[in-house]
Amino acid sequence: MIDPFGRRVTYLRVSVTDRCDLRCQYCMAERMTFLPKRELLTLEEMERVCRAFVAKGVRKLRITGGEPLVRKDVMVLFRGLGRLLNGGGLDELTLTSNGTQLARYADDLAACGVRRINVSLDTLDPDRFRVITRRGDFDRVMAGIAAARAAGLKVKINTVAMRGFNDDEIDRLVAWCGERGLDLCFIETMPMGEIGPDRVDQYLPLSTVRERLAETWTLTDTGFRTGGPARYVDVAETGQRIGFITPMTHNFCESCNRVRLTCTGTLYMCLGQEDAADLRTPLRAYPDDDGPLLDAIDAAIARKPKGHDFVIDREARPAVGRHMSVTGG
């Protein structure tokens, strides 16, 4: 699949649920209204759509949410998609998680062929963790990360950098990850959905974060890539990597290789645009014929935009109205 700007689409992110057991302040409002279950694709339908994308050239699947592991029977989907690895057309099956359910599912994920995962963690302070998540149990997440490592999964920590909240923990996070052999990725906050806190006050450019890190750590640019938008540096003192995802200060649209499927079968060709394609209708209208589904995918890729319109502005409303949890980041 090649979009109008010559970019090859090889990466599909699939949100299996809009629900989550946390309420992270930059992702959700405190009181969320979630989708009725009848509107969600079944796990079998999700697998069918994923198989269609793999047939069209997708080589990496990332399962997201909300929190993907709160979806009932989600391991059925992982087992089905795992069969596409090792010769079935898929190079990697992975997920992004908040870590709360990993102690329960880490071994099963490894058995399905998952080899690395991302865990969202914005602070190492248990009290701050409860503030940012509005309800989270820090120790439970630590146990989940430990279980994932014990299962042989490579763990990368994703941290949203926020001014006045965790900007004093940047060096501590690097050291903590280095001691445990974990890579770390910093992410700029993005203007998605009405969430309450003022993003202008939260916003911390990662150019500033990198400058601060360079005062303590020896950082060397590297060409390492995982197929996502992060740009990485090696940290000499820890032997680990730090990634920077910079949708605001330096967007990565020129190399975008991904599209996002929601749990309702809506395909977003860009995280920062509202244009979307309905895949649920052809999926259900033609249960024994993937032709219309493949045609709908082709039509969607043909209108993938050049880039997003994210801007942090005190006077502006969010760039898109949907919350981050709807499309899984």
Give rounded-to-5 percent helix, strand, coil for the chain: 35, 20, 50
Map residue 14 onto helix, strand or coil.
Answer: strand
From the list 122, 196, 215, 218, the residue with the least C-alpha distance to 165 is: 122
SS3 call for 203: strand
Question: Which string of DSSP letters, residue by residue, matches 219-260?
Answer: EEE-----SSS-EEEEETTTS-EEEEE-TTTS--GGG--EEE
Q: Would you state the pLDDT for residue 137?
A: 95
Which residues are annotated binding-site positions for GTP? 13, 62, 96, 156, 258-260
Per the annotation, binding residues for S-adenosyl-L-methionine are 26, 66, 120, 190
Please tell me the pTM assigned to this model: 0.88
**C-alpha span between 37 and 223 (Å, rounded):** 42
Residue 154's pLDDT band, with cuts at 50, 70 and 90, is very high
Portion of the chain with pLDDT greater than 70, in percent: 88
Helices (H), 95-180: 102-111, 126-133, 138-150, 170-180
Structure tokens at 43: 């796990």
Using the predicted structure, report yes or no on whether residue 315 has a pLDDT greater than 50. no
Query: Closest Cα to residue 145, out of 156, 137, 136, 129?
Result: 156
Nearest CA-CA partner of 58 in 289, 231, 257: 257
Mean pLDDT across the chain: 90
Domains of the chain: 11-327 (3.20.20.70)
Confidence of residue 54 (pLDDT cuts 50, 70, 90): very high
**Whether the Cβ atoms of residue 183 and residue 177 lie closer than 8 Å to each other:** yes
Residue stretches of the annotated binding site: 13, 20, 24, 26-27, 62, 66, 96, 120, 156, 190, 253, 256, 258-260, 270
Residue numbering of the annotated binding site for [4Fe-4S] cluster: 20, 24, 27, 253, 256, 270
Is the confidence at residue 258, as pLDDT, over 50? yes
